[in-house]
Structure 1
Amino acid sequence: MKRLALLAAAVAIGLSSLPAEAAKVRIGYWSSGVSLGFGSFLEAGKFMEKQGLEAEFVKFPDVNAPTKAMAASAIDFAIGASAGSAFSVAADGLPMSIVLATQVADLDFVVMADSPITKMEELKGKKIGMSPSGSATAAISSAILIKNYGMTASDFEAVPGADPRLAQFLVQKNIDAAALRTVTIALLPDVKLRKLSTFRAEWAKITGKPAAPVLGVGLMRNEWMKANPEAAAKVIAGMRNAFEAGKADKAAVAKALMAAGNIPEDDAKAYAALWDGIYTVSMEPADIASMKAEFEVFKSVGAVKGDLPDAALNPSPYEASKAIK
C-alpha cells in the first residue's frame, strides 16, 4: 500500500509539472482601414503567443463584420470594432463588453484642391464621402455637420465607401468632399487635396475638450471573458505590448503591412509613421468618460438609440493587465 501511495504521489507531481494548456482566443479585425496596421503587426509579432495564448486571427472585409461575428459567438475579441456599432450592441444588451479604446478618429474633411468649396459651412447640400452607415466615422461625421454647422441629416448626402474608393470618387468629381483618414491622405501624395478641417478640431467644438473621438474599441465576448479571466488580461497585455513595440519600431510595422496587405514599401512606411497618432491601448477613467460622452453625442443625432449601461464599459481586464509584462 505504501508503494502504491508513493507511486500515486509521483504521478500527481508529474502531472502538476506539465505546462497548463494555453487558453485559445479568436481575434477578429477588419482587413482594411486603420485596423489593418495594428492587426497585421499584432499577428506578425506574435504578441498574443508571447503571453502564452493560442491565438486564431480572423480577418473580415467589412468594418462592421467583427461586431456581427462576436454576436454570433464566432470570435472572442475584436481589436478595433467600430465604436458606433459597439455602442449599439451594448445599448441593446448583447453579451459583450467594451474593454479598450484602440483607435482614435484621426481624419480630415477634404476637397480637391481646385474645388470651389473653401469652408465647412459650404458642405450643406453637397455629396460627402464617408465610411458606411453603422461605422463610428459616419456617426462622427454626421454629428460634426449637425452639431457644429446647424445642418440636418437631409442637408447633405452621405456617400458610403472605403477610403480608396472615396478618394477615387473625389478625383472623378462624383462627390464634393470626403472624410478621409490621415493614413489614406498620406498614401495619396499625387492627389491634390485641400483640408477643410480635422475631426479633432471639430470634436473639440462639440465636447469642449481637446481629445479626439474614439473610432475603434476592443470588444470582448462576455462568456469568454468570464470563463477566461486571466487570459482576458493577457489579451490586453498583448495589445499594450504591441502598441509600445509599434511606437518604437516603425520599420517592423511597415514590414508587417507590406506582408499582410501587399502594400508598397513607401506607402507602408508612411502608414507606419502615423502609428502614434491613430492607435491607443487604454481604458482609464478618462477614456470611459470620453466614450460615454461620445455615446450621448451619437444618440443626439440618431446614430444610436437607448442608453449605454455602465457595465458595458468594463475596465477589469485592462486593470488586471497592468500586473503583466
Structure 2
Amino acid sequence: MKRLAVLAAAFVAALVTAPAAQAEKIRVGYWSSGVSLGFGAVLQSGKFLEAQGLEPEFVTFPDVNAPTKALAAGAIDFAIGAPAAASFSVAVDGLPLSIVLATQAAELDFVVPEDSPIQSLGDLKGKKVGGSPAGSATAAITSAILAANYGIKPGEYEAVPGADPRLAQFLVQKDIDAAALRTVTIALLKDAKLRKIGSFREEWAKITKQDAPPVLGVGLMRNDWLKANPDAAARVVAAMRKAYEFGKADKEAVAKALVAAANMKEDDARAYAALWDGIYAVRLEPADIASLKTEFEVFKSVGAVKGELPDSALVTAPYEASKSIK
C-alpha cells in the first residue's frame, strides 16, 4: 500500500508540473517581401525563439498590411514588423493589440531615373510617386515629408503603390516619376540608373529636429496572448534581441539565411546583410516611446491617422523583463 501511495503521489506531481515543462506556443507573422524578410529569416533559421523555450509557428504574408490584419483576426500572436501607421490606427480604434517593440527604422531614399529633370522633392507636385501601399508607414511618412517640408498635400501628387522591385521596374520604364525605395533595395539594384533626390532620415530630421529616422515597423502583440503568457512575452523579446545581436556580429550568417529563405543571390544577400545594423532595432526605451508618439502626431497632421494614441498601446513590460534574461 505504501508503494502504491508513493506512485500515486508521483503521478499527481507529474500532472501538476507537466504543463510548466511544455513550451508555450506562439504564432509569429512577418511580411516576406519587405524589410521584415531578413530579420524573419534569421529569427527562424537561428531558432532563437526555440532557445527561449518557445514553440513558434512562423507565418509569412505577401502583403505589408496582412500581418496586422491577421493579428486583429486572432490568426497570429505576434508580428515582428507591423507597419507603424497601421499599428497606430488599430490602437486608436481600440483593438486588443499592443506595441511592444520598435523593430525597423525607415531607411529609405527618394530616387528618380538618372536622366530625370526632377532635381528635388519640391518638384514632385503633380507627379507619380511610387511607394508602399496606403496604410503602410512608408506611405504615411512620404505624405508627411512632402506636406511638411514642401507644401505638397497628398492629393497634389499621384501615389503609386507597389513592392520595391516592381517600383524600380516602373522607374526604369518611366511609368512613374519618382519612388521611395528602401536602402537595401537600392543596394541590390546595381544596374539600375537611379539618382537620389532625398532621404527619409534627412527629411524627417527637418520635421522632428532630431537626427534619427522614423520608425517603419513595430513588434505588435495580441493582448490575449500577452496577458496569458507574460513570462513568455519577455522571452519573445529576448529572442528578438539575441537575433538582432547575432545579425550585427555575423553578416555572413545573415547572408546565408537570406539565400536559403528567399533564394537570393549570394552577392545580393551580402549587400542586404551589410545594412542590418541600420535597418533593424529591438528597443522600447523612453526615447523610442517619445519618438513613436511624435511620429503619430506627424502622421495625424497629414491625415494618415486620426484620434488620440492611448498610452496603453505602448507596453514596455516584455522589453524591460527581457533585460534580465540571459
TM-score normalized with structure 1 length: 0.97
Task: Give the letter for the 2:52 counterpart.
Answer: Q
| DSSP-derived class of the 1:280 partner | strand
| DSSP-derived class of the 2:21 partner | coil
Q: Give 1:9 deviation, angstroms.
A: 3.6
Task: Give the Cα separation in 1 of the matches to 2:59 and 2:31.
Answer: 9
* Two-structure CA RMSD over aligned residues (Å): 1.3
TM-score normalized with structure 2 length: 0.97
Q: Give 1:152 deviation, angstroms.
A: 1.4
Identify the range of structure 1 (11-20 vs 194-203) with the bigger mean alpha-carbon deviation.
11-20
Q: Give 1:118 deviation, angstroms.
A: 1.1
Query: Which residue is equivalent to 1:234?
Result: 235
Query: Which residue is equivalent to 1:108?
Result: 109
Q: Give 1:89 deviation, angstroms.
A: 0.3
Q: Give 1:10 deviation, angstroms.
A: 3.6
> What does the per-residue CA deviation read over 1:68-125, in whole Å, with 9 as the maximum and x for residues that have no partner?
0000000000000010110100010000000000000000011111111111111111
Query: Which residue is equivalent to 2:121?
Result: 120
The alignment status of 1:320 with 2:317, answered yes or no, reads no
Task: Give the Cα separation in 2 of the matches to 1:136 and 1:321.
Answer: 27
Task: Give the Cα separation in 2 of the matches to 1:42 and 1:207.
Answer: 32
Q: Give 1:227 deviation, angstroms.
A: 0.4
Query: Which residue is equivalent to 1:283?
Result: 284
Q: Give 1:155 deviation, angstroms.
A: 1.5
| DSSP-derived class of the 1:263 partner | coil
Residue correspondence of structure 1 range 154-173 to structure 2 within 5 A:
154-173=155-174
Q: Give 1:217 deviation, angstroms.
A: 0.2
Residue correspondence of structure 1 range 161-200 to structure 2 within 5 A:
161-200=162-201
The alignment status of 1:253 with 2:254, answered yes or no, reads yes
> What does the per-residue CA deviation read over 1:44-77, in whole Å, with 9 as the maximum and x for residues that have no partner?
0000000010000000010000000000000000
Query: Which residue is equivalent to 2:7?
Result: 7
Query: Which residue is equivalent to 1:244?
Result: 245
| DSSP-derived class of the 2:22 partner | coil
Task: Give the letter for the 1:54 counterpart.
Answer: E
Q: Give 1:296 deviation, angstroms.
A: 0.6
Query: Which residue is equivalent to 2:53?
Result: 52
| DSSP-derived class of the 1:48 partner | helix
Query: Which residue is equivalent to 2:89?
Result: 88
> What does the per-residue CA deviation read over 1:160-193, in whole Å, with 9 as the maximum and x for residues that have no partner?
1100010000000011110000000000011111
Task: Give the letter for the 1:62 counterpart.
Answer: D
Task: Give the letter for the 1:228 counterpart.
Answer: N
Task: Give the letter for the 1:107 counterpart.
Answer: L
Q: Give 1:15 deviation, angstroms.
A: 5.4
Task: Give the Cα separation in 1 of the matches to 2:296 and 2:207.
Answer: 13
Task: Give the Cα separation in 1 of the matches to 2:85 and 2:313.
Answer: 14
Task: Give the Cα separation in 2 of the matches to 1:145 and 1:11.
Answer: 67
Q: Give 1:13 deviation, angstroms.
A: 5.2
| DSSP-derived class of the 2:300 partner | helix
Identify the range of structure 1 (121-130 vs 132-141) with the bigger mean alpha-carbon deviation.
121-130
Task: Give the letter for the 2:236 counterpart.
Answer: V
Task: Give the letter for the 1:8 counterpart.
Answer: A
Given the superposition, is the C-alpha separation of residues 112 and 14 from structure 1 closer, same or farther in structure 2, using an over 3 Å criterion? Answer: same
Identify the range of structure 1 (15-24 vs 283-292) with the bigger mean alpha-carbon deviation.
15-24
> What does the per-residue CA deviation read over 1:208-249, in whole Å, with 9 as the maximum and x for residues that have no partner?
111110000000000000001111001000000000000001
Consecutive unaligned residues of structure 1, counting only runs of 5 or more, are: none
Task: Give the letter for the 2:62 counterpart.
Answer: P
Task: Give the Cα separation in 2 of the matches to 1:177 and 1:10.
Answer: 70
Task: Give the Cα separation in 2 of the matches to 1:258 and 1:138.
Answer: 29
Query: Which residue is equivalent to 1:308?
Result: 309
| DSSP-derived class of the 2:48 partner | coil
Task: Give the Cα separation in 2 of the matches to 1:63 and 1:13.
Answer: 47
Residue correspondence of structure 1 range 288-303 to structure 2 within 5 A:
288-303=289-304
| DSSP-derived class of the 1:142 partner | helix
Identify the range of structure 1 (149-158 vs 14-23) with the bigger mean alpha-carbon deviation.
14-23
| DSSP-derived class of the 1:252 partner | helix
Q: Give 1:8 deviation, angstroms.
A: 3.5
Consecutive unaligned residues of structure 2, counting only runs of 5 or more, are: none
